[in-house]
Chain A
Amino acid sequence: MAIRKIITLPDSRLKLKARPVITITKKIQQTILDLIETLNHYPGVGIAAPQIAELEQIILVDATKSRRPCQNHGQLIMINPQIVFAVGEITFREGCLSIPDYSAFIKRKDKIVVKFLKPDGQKEIITATGFESVVIQHEIDHLNGILFIDRIQSISELIPRR
């Protein structure tokens, strides 16, 4: 396990699409362990493999790290996550480890159903709501090369950290 460097804007690797994981190899397992250690080190609630320059469809979400109590599934390691159903709307102030010191209010789906593979290769489907749902959508965006600043309409929506 290792704390990996998080790549930040304007690194163009953040705009690349991640590959689906076909086989859970030792390298994939290593990436998962690195994601866990890296997220434990940083004050974030989620991380995607492209943020540590691994172009694989893996995200780690841990809504238990939220400052406010929220409904959650604990630490979620999601391989090839896919949103299969989404409903409702929620607006949340989002930040990103790859865009330090800035945040913006982003509109997302409130309730999502996500299917994914667990690290042992088993299929899983969960329903996430509220904050956890927002974090999952934010991290899945990373797998598609989308950052939260791609979702703002105006520069005035960007909130710098004071």
Chain B
Amino acid sequence: MKKIYALTVLGPDRVGIVSKITSHLAREKINIADSSMTRLRREFAMILLLKSPIMLDEKFSKKLKKQLPDLSFFLRELNPDELKKSPEPKKILNIVLYGADRIGLVYRLTSTLARKNINIINLQTKVLDLRPPTYLLILEAELPAGLSLEKVKFFFKPLSARLKVNLTVSESEATKL
């Protein structure tokens, strides 16, 4: 039975990182299931779910490190519970926040979500180079059953006023592709 691992890769970005990692995986006959890669300014970040016919250990990470010495590799085997697919969210909350940049914006927003048992599934932030610097946050979260969009809007209204930011909350149906 194939084992499943999560491989996380971090480090300074340059041309050819994905190519080197994936060629190594192909040579080892390791299949890439899901993967996600992004770049924050010059920092490369990638997470891959790997299906391997053999057990992977530290030697595997070391081989990758030898080829890409300035990157960090972290390998973790997933247990059967983690392999269960999370149910597709029926309704997705879309939250857009922007306002003058200052410490604590993400914390205050996300702690409000956590208190309401709303799970974040995607989060992106960026400081826009405006005067003054403007913080832009876009997130997607699962809208739990029994919680309406109107209720979410209601408890975010005072937060938006307190933080002096624009906060837009909308809802979308999960699209099956």
Give CA–CA (A150, B94) in the complex, Å. 11
Give CA–CA (A154, B164) in the complex, Å. 22
Report whether over half of chain A's contact residues are helix, strand or loop; otherwise say mixed: loop
Is B96 in contact with chain A by the CB < 8 A criterion?
A: yes
Is A155 in contact with chain B by the CB < 8 A criterion?
A: yes
How big is chain A's contact interface, by range?
10 to 19
Q: Mark A53-75, 1 if CB is under 8 A from B, else 0.
A: 00000000000000000000000
Q: Is the CB of B164 within 8 A of A12?
A: yes
Report whether over half of chain B's contact residues are helix, strand or loop; otherwise say mixed: strand
Q: Is the CB of B130 within 8 A of A149?
A: no
Is A101 in contact with chain B by the CB < 8 A criterion?
A: yes
Contacting residues, chain A, for B96 (C-beta < 8 A): 149-150
Q: Which residues of A contact B (CB under 8 A)?
A: 8-10, 12, 15, 99-102, 149-150, 152-156, 158, 160
Q: Can you pick out 24 interface pairs between chain A and chain B where the beta carbons lie within 8 Å of each other? A: A9-B128, A9-B134, A10-B98, A10-B99, A10-B100, A10-B132, A10-B165, A12-B164, A15-B166, A99-B130, A100-B130, A101-B130, A102-B128, A149-B98, A149-B136, A150-B168, A153-B138, A154-B124, A154-B138, A155-B125, A155-B136, A158-B126, A158-B136, A160-B129
